[in-house]
Amino acid sequence: MGVLNVTPDSFSDGGRYRPLEAALAHAREMVAEGAAIVDVGGESTRPGAQPVSEQEELDRVVPVVERIRRDIDCAVSVDTLKPAVMRAACRAGAELINDVNALRAPGALEAAREAGAAVCLMHMRGEPRTMQRNPQYGDVVAEVGAFLQERRDAAEAAGISRDRIALDPGIGFGKTLEHNLSLLANLGRFAGLGCPLLIGVSRKSMFQHLLGLPVDRRLPAGLAAAAVAVWQGAAIVRAHDVKATVEAVGTAAAIAARHR
């Protein structure tokens, strides 16, 4: 899954392309590099990020989803927690709703069910603006597992069949370095929930905390973490650097397939 951010600051390339054309070119590049899914997001959810209005997010996301579906051969997911954006993006052709809030917003379960989309339900403690303020757990693996099970059950009860649900422990979403490492080390435990697992570690600050790396030097660390996740059964890896990620997780998957 390649990351396509459509936030105003993500395409400051000196005006060579208009934003829509730049987003399309980036999507095309990621698909050429091996991405099967392009994840379109109009609201940043990284720590400290400010919320975006519904209209603003619709204006950013819907035209991009439409054009990708028209011009590129790939699946599109929409990274949103807003029901109105889920509906509009799926009408424009998105087939997967990637919700870092696990469909907890009022009306989100109904919007996802009515859109007929597959969903990714992610664990987040708190909200992006404040989630990194002293996160605490008794047993992070058990608590995240219980949350994912509860959200999986809520989605099924709302009419979304289990074979259309992916689960994600939410690396970096209300977690310390220690929590993130524990979740990555024990990802295999969530396989028992009976849904494909999605993992996102690309360029995240856990590598700053682990190794002191700035954002532009986190690729090798992120590839190692993604490989470890795939070894434990992760089915979908969300990443910015698609070519390197496809090579790393392809190798990990080839080895994992021969495990006995």
**Residue 89, token pair as written in the block:** 């993006």
Count of CB atoms situated within 10 Å of the CB of 164: 18
Q: How, if at all, do strands 198-200 and 236-238 pair?
A: parallel
> For residues 106-145, which are near ligand PT1 according to CB under 6 A?
120, 122
Task: State in angstroms the smallest separation of the CB of 259 from ligand PT1.
Answer: 25
What letters, b where the CB count within 10 A reaches 16 and e where it falls short, cover 165-193?
Answer: bbbbbbbbbbbbeebbbbbbebbebbeeb
Of the residues 69, 204, 217, 218, which is catalytic? 204
Edge-first strand order for the sheet with 2-5 is: 2-5, 37-41, 75-79, 96-99, 118-122, 165-168
Closer residue to ligand PT1, CB minimum distance, 46 or 189: 46
Residue type, 127: E
Q: Is 168 in the site for ligand PT1 (CB under 6 A)?
A: yes
Q: Does residue 200 interact with ligand PT1 by CB under 6 A?
A: yes
Q: Is 243 an active-site residue?
A: no
241 binding ligand PT1? (CB under 6 A): no
Taking residue 143's Cβ as centre, other Cβ atoms within 10 Å add up to 14
The reply on whether position 160 binds ligand PT1 by CB under 6 A is no
Nearest CB to ligand PT1, comparing residues 17 and 196: 196
On whether the CB atoms of residues 48 and 128 are closer than 8 A, the answer is yes
172 binds ligand PT1 (CB under 6 A): yes
Which of 205, 224, 243, 256: binder of ligand PT1 (CB under 6 A)? 205
Binding mask 71-100 for ligand PT1 (x = CB under 6 A): --------x------------------x-x
Q: Active site residue: 238, 243, 258, 260, which one?
A: 238
21 or 248: CB nearest ligand PT1: 248
Q: What is the Cα–Cα distance from 155 to 160, expressed in whole angstroms?
A: 5
Q: Using CA atoms, how far apart are residues 223 and 227, in angstroms rounded to an integer?
A: 6
In the complex, the residues that contact ligand PT1 under the rule CB under 6 A are 45-47, 79, 98, 100, 120, 122, 168, 170-173, 198, 200, 204-205, 238
User: Which are the catalytic amino acids?
Assistant: 204, 238
